[in-house]
A and B are shown apart, each in its own frame.
Chain A
Amino acid sequence: AQSVAQPEDQVNVAEGNPLTVKCTYSVSGNPYLFWYVQYPNRGLQFLLKYITGDNLVKGSYGFEAEFNKSQTSFHLKKPSALVSDSALYFCAVRGPGGSARQLTFGSGTQLTVLP
């Protein structure tokens, strides 16, 4: 069965500092990895995804994520955090086929950017 782990429930960072939100995954075959952000009382907004190719993926709002196959990780990063980045972030994984076709989400990481 495929799974996603977001080891940190809460991440605090000062505005202007770099931020990292961690994600590790488990899936049979090549993974397809996604990051979403959720603001209060809103649905999930797509940030970026890794399908194949360059391990560094760039997405919306200045976010990027690095795929590391050996460490089965897909950490979300941003060079300089903004207060408006404060939200709930979800990592998700999908396998290439069969029962792994569902998108499996992690439990989320609450990011707080302090002014």
Chain B
Amino acid sequence: EAGVVQSPRYKIIEKKQPVAFWCNPISGHNTLYWYLQNLGQGPELLIRYENEEAVDDSQLPKDRFSAERLKGVDSTLKIQPAELGDSAVYLCASSKGLAGSYSTDTQYFGPGTRLTVL
């Protein structure tokens, strides 16, 4: 079974430029997550999708970040414009999302995209 796929793996941009990250979850997984991981810290949730619906985006900085999950499969996370403080690893994860089992679901992570903003 293929794991969570993310691209690109690395991205270097100048501040104020836009950037986009792509994620393809494990086949059949209904729930998709985007996390931010700063150096030396654990991941922090940015947004969670159940199928096409963003059900938890309370920690997404909506002034510059946006996300979409068209057709409930692939997802894209965008930053526009990027700031120096956005340099981090952006992780995508997915889980089965079975009804009634959300809290016990195991999340499976992709390799992440390391963003460097100069």
B106 touches A101 (CB 8 A): no
Closest 6 CB pairs of A and B: A105-B42, A43-B109, A44-B109, A43-B111, A51-B104, A43-B110
Return the chain A residue nearest B4 by Cβ: A43
Which residues of A approach B to under 8 Å, CB–CB?
4, 32, 34, 36, 41-46, 49, 51, 90, 92, 94-97, 101-103, 105-108
Interface size on B, residues (CB 8 A): 23
Write out the residue numbers on chain A whose beta carbons fall within 8 Å of the beta carbon of B25. Answer: none
Complex A-B: 23 CB contacts under 8 Å: A34-B106, A42-B111, A43-B6, A43-B93, A43-B109, A43-B111, A44-B91, A46-B107, A90-B42, A92-B42, A94-B103, A101-B56, A101-B102, A101-B103, A103-B45, A103-B107, A105-B42, A105-B44, A107-B40, A107-B41, A108-B40, A108-B41, A108-B42
Return the chain B residue nearest A52 by Cβ: B104
Write out the residue numbers on chain B whose beta carbons fall within 8 Å of the beta carbon of A101. Answer: 56, 102-103
- A96 and B101 alpha carbons, distance in the complex (Å): 10
B107 touches A45 (CB 8 A): no
Return the chain A residue nearest B111 by Cβ: A43
Write out the residue numbers on chain A whose beta carbons fall within 8 Å of the beta carbon of B109. Answer: 36, 43-45
